[in-house]
Structure 1
Amino acid sequence: MRLRLPRERPAEPPRGYKLANPVLSEDCGRIGFAGVAIGGAQPYGVVDEARCMYGRRHRCPALRCDCGFYCLHTFAQALALARAGTHRRAAILEVTVLGAYIRFERGMRYARQRVRVARIGPCGCGLPPEVFVDGGWGRTGWRALSGACRGCAAGRDQVSFEDFVRIGGGRLRLLPGHRDGPADAAAAPGPAVRGVPGPGAEAGVMQARLDRFQRQLGRLSGEV
């Protein structure tokens, strides 16, 4: 007898939270995000589809593979991960989960996503970010961006938050700093860049859970 996972029929697409680094293409014609774990080598767009990082031709998320986008269920989980140390300056993304997905205790693995909100990490001096500057690293064809205050960004190449949103098609909202609470409730005073009319650490958090699930599934699917 094969094990069948329960099917969910939500009234609206689920939402989740993840960490990523904003990136800009070398020709300044595209923006995206690079994950902070194993999927970071493949930057993704504001709306994008997951591809198997191992080059396999199956659809994501495959049960017997760990491919696909990952996200955590709550903002608090993502914030705790960002404050843990190495990813304090990464952005916290709020995403809409699209297509097929697998739900786990702390998050989901899924096929497609739309990045709705990006909370940009603080400047290195601790002040809220006001612009993007070169992050000092990148991927082939992409350069990473970091948030910076005006004082620290003086004399450096800058990309405004407005330009970042515009290049991305205007469907993204940026918030400076890792604000607490959902974006819809974060209408507190302070600069926010809304869209104008016009897929790493998150994987590591759930990897142990996923491995155990796949081992159990493999044993059960072999039973008659």
Structure 2
Amino acid sequence: MRLRLPEEHPTEPPTGYKIAHPVLSQDGTRTAFTGVSLGGALPYGVLADASCAYGLRHRAPHRRCDCGFHCVHDRAAAEALLCTAEHRAAVLLDVTVLGRYIRFERGFRYARQRVRTATVGPCACGTVAAALADAGWGRPGWRALAPSCAGCLRGRTSVSLAGFARLAGEGLRVVAGEGAAVAVAGLGHAEKLGVPELAAEAALLQARLDWFQAQLARLGEHGPGGGRKG
């Protein structure tokens, strides 16, 4: 006799939490996320369908495979994963579970998802993040990003929290965590941004300006022919 899993028919889509690394396309026109374990080589957008990471032709999630998107029920359980060294620069995602899913004790494995909110942790220096900057690694065609404050950008390729949300589309919200004044970033036009969003954007622009001024000052120490003045 073939055993069948019990079926659920919820009136509202289930929700869950997971962690992922934010990524920026090589040409700087798209943003996405990449997982921290199975399927991490396949960046996904805000609204995405899962496929089998092993290249098998069955629909995800398959009962006899571990393919599909994964999330946990409890926010604290997802936040605990951010304590490990390899996941310190990841962001916390609040997701809606769509399509077929398999329920487990701690979470879901499922076919389709919508990322509703991405919570960005602090910069490596401990300051509240104002942007997501080049993390020094990536996937083919994608640069991995890590939280950065305005003072630590140092000319790296970066995108503000508002810019990341705008490029991702689909109503994504990006917020700065760690108890800071929440910088909601998901509105596409500057006139709709509030004080926290504009303050974060201003800090990012100021940091870039400071870096350019430092570079100009360094170049100014040399004469027109490249020799040092004096």
Bucket of the pairwise TM-score, normalised by the shorter protein: 0.7 to 0.9
What residue in structure 2 maps to residue 194 of structure 1?
186
Superposed displacement of residue 14, structure 1: 0.4
What residue in structure 2 maps to residue 200 of structure 1?
none
TM-score of the aligned structures, taking structure 2 as reference length:
0.78
What residue in structure 1 maps to residue 78 of structure 2?
78
Map residues 1-224 of structure 1 onto 2, 5 A cutoff.
1-177=1-177, 189-196=181-188
Superposed displacement of residue 170, structure 1: 4.9
Q: Name the SS of the counterpart of 1:67 in structure 2.
A: coil
Q: State the one-letter code of the partner of 2:164.
A: F
TM-score of the aligned structures, taking structure 1 as reference length:
0.80
CA distance in structure 1 between the aligned counterparts of 2:187 and 2:170, rounded to whole angstroms: 4
Q: Name the SS of the counterpart of 1:38 in structure 2.
A: coil
- Alpha-carbon RMSD: 1.6
Q: Name the SS of the counterpart of 2:64 in structure 1.
A: coil
8 A contact 1:93–1:117 mirrored in 2: yes
Q: Unpaired runs of 5+ in structure 2?
A: 190-230
Q: Which has the higher contact order (CA 8 A, sep 6+)?
A: 1
8 A contact 2:166–2:186 mirrored in 1: no
Offset from partner CA, 1:20-65 (integer Å, 9 cap, x none)? 0000111122211011112110010110000111111110000111
Number of corresponding residues: 189
Q: Unpaired runs of 5+ in structure 1?
A: 180-187, 198-224
What residue in structure 2 maps to residue 213 of structure 1?
none
Offset from partner CA, 1:45-89 (integer Å, 9 cap, x none)? 110000111111110000111110000111110011112433122
Superposed displacement of residue 178, structure 1: 5.1
CA distance in structure 1 between the aligned counterparts of 2:178 and 2:63, rounded to whole angstroms: 33
What residue in structure 1 maps to residue 194 of structure 2?
none
Highest CA radius of gyration, 1 or 2?
2
Q: State the one-letter code of the partner of 1:175.
A: V
Q: Name the SS of the counterpart of 2:43 in structure 1.
A: coil
CA distance in structure 1 between the aligned counterparts of 2:117 and 2:71, rounded to whole angstroms: 14
CA distance in structure 1 between the aligned counterparts of 2:66 and 2:177, rounded to whole angstroms: 31
Q: Name the SS of the counterpart of 1:78 in structure 2.
A: helix
What residue in structure 2 maps to residue 215 of structure 1?
none
CA distance in structure 2 between the aligned counterparts of 1:170 and 1:100, rounded to whole angstroms: 21
- Assess, with a 3 A threshold, how the Cα gap between structure 1 residues 136 and 191 changes in structure 2: closer, same or farther: same
CA distance in structure 2 between the aligned counterparts of 1:163 and 1:190, rounded to whole angstroms: 16
Q: State the one-letter code of the partner of 2:182.
A: G
CA distance in structure 1 between the aligned counterparts of 2:55 and 2:5, rounded to whole angstroms: 25
Superposed displacement of residue 158, structure 1: 2.2
